A and B are shown apart, each in its own frame.
Chain A
Amino acid sequence: MDFIIEGIFRSWQLIFSLDREIFSIVLLSLRVSLTATILASFLGIPLGFLIAVREYWGKRLTIAIVNTLLALPTVVVGLLIYSLISRRGPLGVLGLLFTPWAMIIGQFVLALPIIIALTYSAVQGIDKKVRNTALTLGATDYQAALTVIREARYAVLAAVVTGFGRVIAEVGAAMILGGNIKDSTRVMTTAIALETSKGEFGFALALGLILLLVAFSVNILLHYFQGKKV
């Protein structure tokens, strides 16, 4: 029992003394996950929008695939990307493995289907009504499309935040692709896994509390955006 109480005590100490190691890990985590989420948004939002507004052959199949990818296990993503970027893999020459960029690629793949699927459902729900309203008021097709995106803005932002929430908390891909190297690719989740097994309970708990705080902030943000929807 003692080690728990001691751990809690130590974790508070670490957080409030602004421990350098803890905060460099937190910053790297945020940097990797934010970069991955932003990149995934640039691709995922337009794709989700197009899937929603375009009628094409195989549309239902695309949606089914995207929805399946929502449940993609993080270790499987780690494994697949690993096979591509490890030295023997086709992209091995780039030397990406065990760098922050390897983790960004992994988290990008994880966030993408979430952002596509949530953007799709946000746009699909309002597309027809908003489009027709814009058109009857004299908008061009292009203006009408922009209006649809603008009307879906809060739901799309919620999609982005949800994507971020998923990747900041994942451990599988970051561990396999980053390798949990100190001062280089050690992020919150991988550090927690390592330090716990090392018995550094206070250190792990401090990171755990910060991760919880991030998750909590993400949810507050999500709540705010969802409240903005009409």
Chain B
Amino acid sequence: MSEKIVEIKSILKSYNKKVVLDIDYLSFQEGKIYALVGPNGSGKTTLLNILNLLIRPDQGKIFYFNQEVSWARKEQRIELRRQMTLVEQSPYLFNTTVWNNLAFGLQARKLPYSMQKERINRILNLVGLSNFQYRKVNQLSGGEMKRVALARALVLEPRLLLLDEPTASLDQRYIDILERVIKRVNQENKTTVLITTHDLSRAYRLAQEVVSLLEGKVIREIPENIFRGEMIKNRKGNCLKITEEVSFVIGTEKEGISYIYIDPRDIILSLQSFQSSARNSFLGKIVKIVEQNHLVKLEVDIGVLMVVMITKESFQDLRLNLGRSVYLTFKASAVKLY
């Protein structure tokens, strides 16, 4: 059983009176890879910043190696921060050479030059940028910049590596390099890695544990009705095309491949089609019925499988059974970006 590297208890953080993070308890074991998944605005980035001691929570306690650090003195915070590092979603590179960027943290730690040199060369090699030492960062491409930012973090050999959406807006080749590098440092250096991502399949492939956040709270299970699709515009407006037959009208404008989810409680189930302001309505067949406390969870096949939650009373009133044809109706605003 490995040691807990970090633990947080009863963390609360709000901005402008809006709660962005509200976590009872969360702990991370040393040497594991964790994926933090959740839609935009679910508090992933705030959590990483709190773990990196860059922002203080309004309430709650943070423990590193079983020691409380919530109110640690400045020197202790710096000391702790030097054992971890955060790579932001769109990282800032210092306006100088690649080498100086990588050397920054090493110089802050007062590492001898020979060691700096050895580490920088080794890491640049690892991320496939061996000949880039003396390049200016403003001459790099977007993907190269992200790799430099990752290298700048890895060169510090942190015990805890926090990566905020490292795969966002990157091509597949870089993503493969990134995954390989993350796995490698995790195995070789026992680095604990905490990575936020939109991509659930990637999360499960890379991480040993997945933590899911929704509206600032840790949720035990990944939300139902997650779909991947392509944003398109058609006569109905902005749509997310899931399959050739099924596409959802969606409230927000975005381009490219997106993940969305629909809360099963936001879906109205009816026996007949009805006219309403809701933009999405589909005919499907009930393929699974599960009772959960006072609710009933139904799986309905509308071309894709959708989960709907209704109360037991409604379930009985509508006399639903397996194979029954039903209409599912939900508003465009119920389709949330993941």
Residues of A within 8 A of B (CB): 126, 129-130, 132-141, 143, 147, 150-151, 154, 228-230
Contacts and interface: CB of A to CB of B under 8 A. Distances in A.
Contacts of B85: 136-138
Interface string B103-117: 011001100000000
A151 B95 CA distance: 6
A132 B94 contact: no
B137 A230 contact: yes
Contacts of A139: 104-105, 108
Given A133-B88, A230-B137, A230-B138, A138 B94 contact: no
A152 B91 CA distance: 17
Contacts of A134: 104, 108
A133 B54 contact: no
Contacts of B93: 230
Nearest to B75: A140
A185 B92 CA distance: 49
Question: Secondary structure at chain B's binding surface: helix, strand, loop or mixed?
Answer: mixed
A133 B108 contact: no
B212 interface: no
B95 A138 contact: no
B108 A140 contact: yes
B78 interface: yes
Interface string B41-71: 0000000010010100000000000000000
Contacts of A136: 52, 54, 81, 85-86
A130 B138 CA distance: 16
B108 A138 contact: yes
A151 B86 contact: no
A185 to B, nearest CB: 42
Question: Secondary structure at chain A's binding surface: helix, strand, loop or mixed?
Answer: helix
B81 A138 contact: yes
A152 to B, nearest CB: 10
Interface string B77-90: 01001100110100
Contacts of B138: 230
Contacts of A150: 94
A147 B152 CA distance: 16
A188 to B, nearest CB: 36
Given A126-B92, A137-B105, 16 more contacts: A129-B92, A132-B49, A136-B52, A136-B54, A136-B86, A137-B108, A137-B156, A138-B78, A138-B81, A138-B82, A139-B108, A147-B94, A147-B104, A230-B93, A230-B95, A230-B138
Contacts of A130: 92, 94
Interface of B: 49, 52, 54, 74, 78, 81-82, 85-86, 88, 91-95, 104-105, 108-109, 137-138, 152-153, 156
Nearest to B74: A141
Nearest to A132: B54
Given A133-B92, A230-B138, A138 B109 contact: yes
Contacts of A147: 94, 104
Contact of B54 (A135, A143, A154, A230): A135
A137 B86 CA distance: 8
Q: Which of A133, A136, A138 has the most CB of B within 10 A?
A: A136
Contacts of B94: 130, 133, 147, 150-151
A121 to B, nearest CB: 17
A141 B53 CA distance: 13
Contacts of A137: 85, 104-105, 108, 152-153, 156
Contact of B156 (A138, A140, A230): A138
Contacts of A129: 92
17 contacts: A126-B92, A130-B94, A132-B49, A132-B88, A133-B94, A134-B108, A136-B52, A136-B54, A137-B104, A137-B108, A137-B153, A137-B156, A138-B78, A138-B108, A139-B105, A151-B94, A230-B137
A172 B95 CA distance: 40
Contacts of A154: 95
A203 to B, nearest CB: 46
A138 B137 contact: no
A140 B108 CA distance: 8
Contact of B78 (A132, A140, A151, A229): A140
Question: What 4 A-B pairs come out closest when comparing CB atoms?
Answer: A137-B105, A138-B82, A138-B108, A136-B86
A72 to B, nearest CB: 33
A228 B95 CA distance: 9
A201 to B, nearest CB: 48
A138 B54 contact: no
B81 A135 contact: yes
Contacts of B92: 126, 129-130, 132-133
A138 B74 contact: no
A141 B49 CA distance: 16
Contacts of B88: 132-133
Contacts of B95: 151, 154, 228-230
Contacts of B74: 141
A150 B49 CA distance: 24
